[in-house]
Amino acid sequence: MESLIGSFRGERREAERQQVHDPLSGSLQGLCTSWKEPLVIPGPIIVGGGPSGLAVAACLRAKGIPSVVLERAHCIASLWQLKTYDRLRLHLPKKHCELPLTPFPSCFPTYPTKRQFVAYLEAYAREHGVRPRFNEAVVAAEYDEALGFWRVRTAATQGSPAEKREYLCRWLVAATGENAEAVAPELEGSADFGGPIVHTSSYKSGEAFRGKRVLVVGCGNSGMEVCLDLCNNAAKPTIVVRDSVHVLPREMLGLSTFGLAMWLLKWLPLRVVDALLLLLARLVLGNTAKFGLRRPRLGPLRLKALAGKTPVLDAGALALIKSQRIKVRPSGVKRLVKHGAEFADGAAEEFDAVILATGYRSNLPHWLKAKEVIEEKGGLGGGWKLGDKGLYALGFTKRGLLGVSLDASRIAGDIEECWKSQLEKIKVTSFTCSHAPSRRTSNFTK
């Protein structure tokens, strides 16, 4: 380890000496004027302390490779701990959501609660010795061609705002995922509305809305579950369903819908599996279009593969829609008014509160300076390995925690190959130097 760190520092000093005499390297000068002296990290830097970051750090440690996990919040899995509602459960069975090397406790239910999942992640971090550096937000990460290192700059999110650091590393893992920042559209008339407007990232329980008429904007899994929670707390929700949506039962034929789909895909093409899922969904749920929930023309698996749009796995909201305890508005919100909302179809209704179930987006464009790999919508193209500069991505393939587990193992394996190659070079260099004849010996031989 010491030899590897020494080698990295030596290479860095040599490259920086060359930069001083290189008239073309002016853009690199002064990068550290407001940051502390760069810290050389022998292993990878992992940005994000959620499930993705923990998974790849654990896989690396199992291979004897140290890493540094940078997390902007004060805890691991900050999205789960700080920005999710209380009734949240995993939408898929636990066997499809396990992180590498450690299964869920057998005493956990098939669909663990939010609290149980967080407890699993905290135990996972302890078991695998993953200790993120909390309250450190990455503000920029850029590959330095001259050094052959990634420059990762951070700023403290608590305490002194002037506290900044710069790290140098050969490998960078972007593990902030697709849900880093809340998407909260500005609705016309928001300033005139007389009640609260909150994003689901700030919603905890329907108890705060007891007896109130609540407009829920967004009909994904979060929107449907929030409506269910509101009903369970004696609120009166109305959900805006502007686009078509696939609603599937959470379980079919005694199996989880996801598990059934994965099993069928082993034997049948995707279009056939889609047709079977829709047939079974029709038998179990009926024609959802009758209740304002039009299905897309593409099947659920095909739509997920092409557009990343996840089907809604019904946890009980559909029965409340059928009984009209949850009202469906099939057109978008035109504007908010003081005591309610006007819709695009000309209808108007009074509401006491608005909840935005409008999802999240990646924050990669804000800190990762690698335009060649960042897609237009802020995602990462190209899978888990991006180019040949030591850049990896985890949690961006729209395959959930199952995809995270698979890719974490692949990333750790790829870095291990590079790590062993570096160690081998150092061993060869050390051996050559230690056996090189001295000048005195050379003269004596002559």
In this prediction the pTM is 0.85
Q: How far apart are CA 400 and CA 139, in angstroms?
A: 26
Q: For residue 217, give both structure tokens.
A: 């904007």
Q: What is the DSSP letter of 46?
A: E
Q: How far apart are CA 141 and CA 166, in angstroms?
A: 9
Give the pLDDT score at 423.
75
- Please give the order of strands across the beta sheet that includes 353-356: 197-199, 353-356, 213-217, 236-240, 327-329
Give the pLDDT score at 34.
55
Give the pLDDT score at 390.
93
Q: How far apart are CA 67 and CA 392, in angstroms?
A: 14
Give the pLDDT score at 440.
40
Least confident of 59-68, 205-214, 303-312: 303-312
94 φ/ψ angles, rounded to the nearest 5 degrees: -60, -30
Give the pLDDT score at 33.
42
**Burial, 222: exposed, middle or buried (Cβ in 10 Å; 0-12, 13-18, 19+)?**
buried
pLDDT bucket at 436, cuts 50 / 70 / 90: very low
Q: What mean pLDDT comes out for the span 325-349?
A: 94
Q: Quote the distance between the C-alpha of residue 301 and its chain's center.
A: 20
Q: What mean pLDDT comes out for the span 141-169?
A: 88
pLDDT bucket at 20, cuts 50 / 70 / 90: very low
Other CB atoms closer than 10 Å to residue 407's CB: what's the count? 26
pLDDT bucket at 10, cuts 50 / 70 / 90: low
Q: Domains of the chain, with CATH numbers?
A: 2-180+362-434 (3.50.50.60), 184-360 (3.50.50.60)
Residue-wise pLDDT tens digits, 87-108:
999 999 999 999 999 999 999 9
Residue-wise pLDDT tens digits, 312-330:
999 999 999 999 999 999 9
Give the pLDDT score at 400.
87
